[in-house]
Amino acid sequence: MGRIITLLTDFGTADGYVGEMKGVILSAIPDAVIVDISHALAPQDVDAARLTVARVWRKFPRGTIHVVVVDPGVGTERIALAVEVDGRLLVGPDNGVLSPALISPGARTVALAIPPDAAPTFHGRDVFAPAAAALARGRSVDSMGQPYAGAIIRRTPEPRRVESGHIAGEVILIDRFGNAVTNLVGRRDMIVEVGGLELPISRTYADGEPGQPLALVGSAGLIEIAVRDGSAAADLQLSRGTRILTRHAFDTVRTVSIR
């Protein structure tokens, strides 16, 4: 059984870019097990890639190699990274997409050498896929380049306490269902304030009536705003960066608009 290599890109599939990457990998190591995470990330959405990496990278077994290519700076002086941590390996551009692994204790990071004949417009095919294949064939991360300490780290913004006594967070992601995921770590005794509404924490997306907004603790532990059988993003006009306030259920501060 071959090594697992996952792919996460913003390439879509129709143009064949992902197909080329798969061909390069399988030509180098025919028994690799290629797993598509997604190719449907919004073009050049580095933060979406980072959040998806955060969700998935450690869910795969040790030995897995994650290839992450959302890379607006391809071909420039930006560094190409490989990192090994907690038994998993990741390769991708140095723009923050690999942050969840880079900040994990014990991460070993190298700057990959760029082959001189790599197309400056497609490092997915010419740098990252070959690097993943080399790692899958047993090359060590340390042998792939020089240690690199300057990797760019992007972080989800931290919630902070505001004058009213609330905790102010923000929407960090709208998912496919229109749920607005926030940067607020969920607790069952919170009240979430959004668009003039005060929402207690529900348990499931099906609590309440159809069309009714609700707040709940999502599967990554973060507060989400949802609308039963609807889209919270559309119905409540939420988007990335929209401010969300919370207070504990026993607090009595007045509702304030978050927009």
List residues binding a copy of itself (CB under 8 A). Answer: 1-2, 4, 6, 8, 10-20, 22-24, 26-27, 30-31, 34-44, 48, 51-52, 55-56, 58-61, 64, 72-76, 119-122, 125-126, 173, 175-177, 203-206, 216-219, 224, 229
Closest distance to a copy of itself from the beta carbon of 100 (Å): 11
Instruction: Dig out the tokens for 198 from the structure.
Output: 């005060």
Rounded to the nearest whole angstrom, what is the least distance from the CB of residue 165 to a copy of itself in the complex?
28
- We find the least distance from the C-beta atom of residue 150 to a copy of itself, in angstroms, to be 19
- Which CB sits closer to a copy of itself, 168 or 201? 201
Tell me if 6 sits within 8 A of 60, measured CB to CB.
Answer: yes
- Which residue, 168 or 173, is less far from a copy of itself as judged by CB? 173
DSSP secondary structure code for residue 94 in this structure: S
Strands (E) across 71-179 are located at 80-85, 88-93, 108-112, 145-147, 160-161, 167-174
Q: Which residue type is seen at 36?
A: D
Joined together, the tokens standing for residue 97 give: 């997409």
Least Å from the CB of residue 77 to a copy of itself: 10
- How far, in Å, are 4, 5, 23, 34, 222 from residue 64 at the CA level? 5, 6, 19, 10, 26
Could you give the C-alpha distances from 11 to 25, 35, 108, 247, in angstroms and in order? 17, 15, 28, 41
Question: Closest approach of Cβ 95 to a copy of itself, in Å?
Answer: 11
Burial class (CB in 10 A: 0-12, 13-18, 19+), 155: exposed
Give 33's strand partners.
4
39 vs 108, beta carbon nearer a copy of itself:
39
Looking at the Cβ atoms of 81 and 118, the one nearer to a copy of itself is 118
E strand or H helix at 26 = helix 17-28
Choice between 95 and 168, CB closer to a copy of itself:
95
Q: Least distance (Å) from a copy of itself to the CB of residue 248?
A: 21
Q: Which is nearer to a copy of itself, 76 or 257 (CB)?
A: 76
